[in-house]
Amino acid sequence: MTADDPVTADDLGAAGDPVTASGLAGRLGPYGLGTAPLAGLFAPVSEEQAEQALAAAWQAGIRYFDTAPHYGTGLAEERLGRFLRGLPGGAARDAVVSTKIGRVLVPGQGEEDGFPGRSGLVRVRDYSRDGVLRSLDDSLRRTGLDRFDLVLIHDPDDHWEQAAGQAYPALAELRDQGVIGAIGAGMNQAEMLTRFVRETDMDAVLVAGRYTLLDRSSAAELLPECARRGVAVIAGGVFNSGVLAGGTTYDYASAPPEVLKRARELSRICAAYGVPLPAAALRFPHRHPAVSTVLVGARSAEEVREDVDLAATPIPDALWQELDDAG
């Protein structure tokens, strides 16, 4: 098939038995690995470094991996696919992979959008039915997989009509046919995700940065709505892009002074209990019963192992109470 050939549901892989909608939350596991950093988000990452990070995650027992065409204009999908194909025997069958639709990659030159060292492709927003099918077909080619366990509508903030009117029905049809396992949406806001949950039949949402120690806005409506409807919640961006892990960035930009002040106060409270702030940030989303999985990003094996250690840090109830009072 060439880039100009029409794409149909038949091109997107055959029905299989990995993850289905009904078993999604149980298969994701408590932690998953996001692959945006492995595509060089904000700084280049070598092929070897990316492979070592993926191997460290696998060795730690992580089986859920989230990717997207947006990450490095396909580089994250390619690297994840090479790693999974290189696993011995049939081990790759244990992996649970989600990708996203909404940005179709086409030849051209443009902004790198945070991902250096990759050119020749540009992202075009497209939440149409044809865009969904083409994006998934391209993602299958880049990863070498024959099926995705979860497909998310990616950042449709200014595209509700097309995303809800075309992308969602196309994904629902593919799910009903068994071509993909489950469907959902991934965003950096809670309001539209709540609307998706109320007005469509989604299996999961990936909410980034909106249920953290610094921003609990998802707790108002999104998380209760997901709990009522049995929608799995994947919490991403738990460090708010760095400020809760000792950095100075918040939501992909320099943190405002008031945010830095709040982060320092949270760090002080944690230190009084002998707990690193990143450990509390990583563990926090699991306190809500609607959250099934916390998605973390790492750019090296060392960072993966650090996150694994943080996830195992004991946190006393008294600390949670004090953080709640301060929050």
Could you give all domains of the chain from N- to C-terminal order, each with its CATH number?
A: 18-326 (3.20.20.100)
- pLDDT in the model for residue 327: 73
| Active-site residue set | 66, 71, 100
- pLDDT in the model for residue 242: 92
- pLDDT in the model for residue 117: 62
Q: Average pLDDT by consecutive 10-residue portion of the chain (327 residues)?
A: 36 44 84 96 93 98 97 96 95 96 91 72 96 98 97 98 98 97 98 98 98 97 97 97 93 92 96 98 97 96 97 97 90
- pLDDT in the model for residue 2: 32
- The span from the first CA to the last CA of the chain, in angstroms, equals 54
- pLDDT in the model for residue 9: 39
